[in-house]
């Protein structure tokens, strides 16, 4: 029996000193030979736990087997059966906590690089113009999907494959939700997002951009016109600490900062006329993926010092391992165990710094992480030109305020039953609008579950 390579086939990347000058993809992708060599490390477990751990239950083992044989077309079609956007999820999923986290190889050697193989297949299909042949049996029932992020995408695709007439309403001028406006191009190139989303129209989803449900179309109108509705409006409303100085000029929510940079292309100013204030020293409050994205954008916008300001330590950071590593390689400074108490400003209203207090770790809290505890006398200040708040988000209020009939949790997340149906009959919800904020693959999984429930509801199963 051939000896199995214990170490991963490394993925080539732009070196840190180069990539901080551009917004191009950091990973450079596998070649065909590299992908095959990585897939050949898979031992093809009898009970592949990678599949049960995946929120959309991709048939990972069969997919990898085909890659190992060099049969990329079949591997791609296997991936696409359960996941409408493999090139995207392969790049952004927290694989270390899901499929790769339970990979048998990972117990004694490097786990198989499942995410990068998924991304390879998505890219390969795009470059070779390969797509699924679908034979859709048309039905008459109409379903409205609100929001074109991962939850709305997977719900729309699965319902369309079942033959429903699906209309997807999106508030913005572009589809994709956070995939377009939040995650920067150096992690998720936008030509890949555009290509993956073009599939929606290819299979006959009626995509209506620039349509804000609750504003230019009433929710009640949709209830009259459609037989069922799925709400996937996400959680795009920012959260602030509620400390003094947060209204100063130069303080951003991460969403505003990232929307300006990514969607409105502020990094190409003046070619694009979106201004952004990003001074020499930038403090980003929080340590999740959103915080890393904001910090890495600030580096690329030319800031000399970019700090992650976090009340716990690197070990507790909720960011994906790869993102944290890349941020550190790019020179982002991780200021651990600090808690901001006041943003400091000049007389003319601009940020000049931040006041913080040093923390230490105490007992475990409800999240299972050590609770940060304030150190008496640990107050200090840091000079900053820009402050970005990346403390997590809340469900969008605009839609919820205009649909008072929908029951929500105290934090504004839409309540659903085990079939993802809300308290309003025939209206389902999923993704961040229901969870309050999770991951791309979680949202994809919920969109799929909701599609199955809508099918059951409409066909009386
Ligand atoms: C900067 C950033 C980085 C992230 N990085 C990662 C990562 O690396 N890995 C990961 O797994 N997850 C990551 N996440 C989280 C992940 O992106 C979300 O969990 C996921 O996008 C949720 O999908 P969704 O479909 O529920 O909502 P969204 O992606 O938010 O999409 C909701 C869509 O609904 C539209 N909408 C809202 N209201 C209306 C309305 N009234 N009418 C019509 N349309 C409406 C919005 O415009 C939007 O397009 C990140 C999030 C952010 C913000």
Condensed to tens digits (0 to 9), the pLDDT of residues 358-397 reads 999 998 888 788 899 999 999 999 999 999 999 988 888 8
Q: How far is the CA of 350 from the centre of ligand 1 (A)?
A: 30
Q: Using the mean position of ligand 1's atoms as its centre, give its distance from the Cα of residue 88 in Å.
A: 13
Mean pLDDT over 253-280 rounds to 86
Are 318 and 257 part of one and the same domain? yes
| 303 lies in the same domain as 438 | no
What is the number of the ligand 1 atom nearest to the C-alpha of 258? 1
> Mean pLDDT over residues 78-100, rounded?
93
Q: What is the mean pLDDT of residues 202-228?
A: 95
In a domain, 11, yes or no: no
Sign of CA dihedral 141, 433, 191, 115: negative
Residue 1's pLDDT is what? 55
Same domain, residue pair 378 and 245: yes
**Domain boundary residue, one of 94, 128, 162:** 128
Q: Is residue 348 pLDDT above 90, yes or no?
A: yes
Taking the centre of ligand 1 as the mean of its atom positions, its distance from the CA of residue 172, in whole angstroms, is 12
pLDDT at residue 267, as a whole number: 80
User: Helices 190-202 and 114-128: crossing angle, nearest 10°?
Assistant: 70
Residue 239: pLDDT band with limits 50, 70, 90: confident
Strand partners, 360: 373
For residues 320 and 407, membership in a common domain is answered with no
Cβ 154 under 6 angstroms from ligand 1: no
Q: Whose CA is nearest to atom 14 of ligand 1?
A: 439
Please report whether residue 133 resides in a domain.
Answer: no
**Which of 100, 128, 156 is the endpoint of a domain?**
128
- Tell me the pLDDT of the chain averaged across its residues: 93
pLDDT of 145 strictly over 60 = yes
The CATH number assigned to the domain holding 153 equals: 3.50.50.60
pLDDT of residue 148: 97
Q: Which of the listed residues 389, 410, 435 is the one where a domain comes to its end?
A: 389
The reply to whether 6 falls in a domain is no
Residue 270, preceding bond cis, omega within 30 degrees? yes
Separation CA 340–CA 310 (nearest Å)? 9
Ligand 1 centroid to Cα of residue 351, in Å, is 29
Q: Is residue 5 part of a domain?
A: no
Indicate the range of 49-53, 132-136, 193-197, 228-232 predicted with least confidence.
Answer: 132-136
Q: How many angstroms is it from 2 CA to the middle of ligand 1?
A: 44
Per DSSP, what are the bridge partners of residue 143?
Answer: 166, 228
CATH number of the domain where residue 116 is located: 1.10.1060.10
Ligand 1 close to Cβ of residue 289 (< 6 A): yes
Q: Which residue has the higher pLDDT, 18 or 403?
A: 18
Instruction: Tell whether 160 and 210 lie within a shared domain.
Output: yes
Report the C-alpha gap between 66 and 70 in whole angstroms.
Answer: 6
| 333-335 vs 305-309, strand pairing mode | parallel
Q: Does residue 269 share a domain with residue 215?
A: no
- Give the percent of the chain with pLDDT over 90: 83
- Answer yes or no: is 1 within a domain: no
**Residue 278 pLDDT greater than 90, yes or no:** no
Would you say residue 406 has pLDDT above 60?
yes
Predicted pLDDT at 2: 63
What is the C-alpha separation between 337 and 314, in angstroms, rounded?
A: 9
The verdict on 33 and 59 lying in the same domain is yes
Mean per-residue pLDDT, 220-244 = 94
Is residue 196, in this structure, part of any structural domain at all? yes
Cβ(213) – ligand 1 distance below 6 Å: yes
CA of 278 to the centre of ligand 1 (A): 24
Tell whether ligand 1 has an atom less than 6 A from the beta carbon of residue 294.
no
Within a domain: 3:
no
Q: Name the residue among 149, 395, 438, 90 with its Cα closest to residue 288.
A: 438
Share of the chain above pLDDT 70, in %: 100
pLDDT greater than 80 at residue 170: yes
144 lines ligand 1 (CB under 6 A): no
**Whether residues 58 and 148 fall in one domain:** no
Residues 28 and 81 placed together within one structural domain of the fold? yes
Its domain, for residue 438, covers 142-236+395-458
Question: Same structural domain for residues 245 and 231?
Answer: no
Q: Establish whether residue 395 lines the binding site of ligand 1, counting it when its CB lies within 6 angstroms of any ligand atom.
A: no
Distance CA 333, CA 132 (A): 45
Ligand 1 atom closest to the Cα of residue 152 is 25
Domain for residue 4, yes or no? no
**Average pLDDT over every residue of 326-347:** 96
The structural domain count of the chain equals 3
Instruction: With a cut of 60, say whether residue 122 has pLDDT above it.
Output: yes
The answer to whether the CB of 435 is under 6 A from ligand 1 is no
Confidence band of 118 (pLDDT split at 50, 70, 90): very high
357 and 227 both lie in a single domain = no
Residues 6+ apart with CB under 8 A from 369: 312, 316
């Amino acid at each position: 029996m051939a000896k199995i390579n214990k170490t991963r086939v490394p993925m080539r990347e732009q070196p840190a000193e180069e990539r901080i000058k551009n917004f191009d993809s950091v990973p450079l992708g596998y070649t065909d030979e590299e992908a095959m060599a990585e897939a050949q490390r898979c031992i093809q477990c009898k009970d592949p736990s990678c599949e049960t751990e995946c929120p959309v239950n991709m048939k990972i083992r069969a997919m990898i087997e085909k890659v190992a044989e060099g049969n990329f077309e079949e591997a791609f079609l296997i991936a696409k059966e359960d996941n409408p956007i493999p090139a995207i999820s392969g790049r952004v999923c927290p694989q270390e906590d899901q499929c790769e986290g339970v990979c048998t190889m990972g117990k004694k050697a490097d786990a198989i690089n499942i995410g990068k193989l998924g991304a390879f297949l998505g890219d390969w299909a795009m470059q070779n113009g390969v797509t699924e042949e679908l034979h859709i049996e048309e039905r008459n029932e109409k379903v409205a999907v609100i929001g074109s992020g991962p939850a709305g995408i997977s719900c729309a695709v699965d319902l369309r494959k079942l033959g429903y007439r699906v209309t997807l309403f999106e508030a913005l001028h572009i589809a994709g939700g956070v995939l377009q406006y939040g995650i920067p191009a150096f992690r998720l190139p936008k030509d890949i997002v555009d290509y993956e989303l073009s599939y929606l129209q290819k299979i006959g989803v009626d995509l209506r951009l620039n349509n804000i449900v609750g504003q230019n179309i009433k929710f009640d109108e949709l209830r009259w016109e459609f037989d069922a509705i799925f709400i996937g409006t996400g959680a795009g409303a920012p959260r602030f600490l509620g400390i003094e100085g947060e209204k100063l000029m130069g303080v951003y929510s991460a969403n505003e900062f990232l929307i300006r940079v990514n969607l409105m292309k502020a990094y190409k100013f003046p070619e694009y006329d979106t201004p952004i204030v990003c001074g020499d020293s930038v403090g980003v409050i929080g340590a999740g993926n959103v915080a890393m994205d904001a910090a890495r954008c600030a580096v690329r916008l030319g800031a000399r010092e970019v700090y992650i300001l976090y009340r716990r330590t690197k070990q507790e950071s909720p960011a994906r391992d790869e993102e944290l590593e890349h941020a550190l390689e790019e020179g982002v400074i991780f200021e651990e165990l600090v808690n901001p108490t006041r943003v400091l400003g000049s007389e003319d209203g601009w940020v000049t710094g931040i006041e913080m207090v040093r923390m230490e770790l105490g007992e475990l809290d409800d999240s299972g992480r050590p609770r940060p505890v304030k150190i008496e006398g640990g107050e200090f200040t840091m000079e900053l030109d820009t402050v970005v708040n990346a403390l997590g988000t809340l469900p969008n209020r605009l839609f919820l305020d205009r649909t008072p009939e929908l029951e929500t949790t105290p934090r504004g997340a839409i309540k659903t039953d085990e079939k993802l149906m809300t308290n309003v009959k025939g209206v389902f919800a999923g993704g961040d609008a229901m969870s309050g904020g999770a991951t791309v693959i979680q949202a994809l999984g919920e969109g799929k579950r909701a599609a199955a429930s809508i099918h059951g509801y409409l066909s009386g199963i």
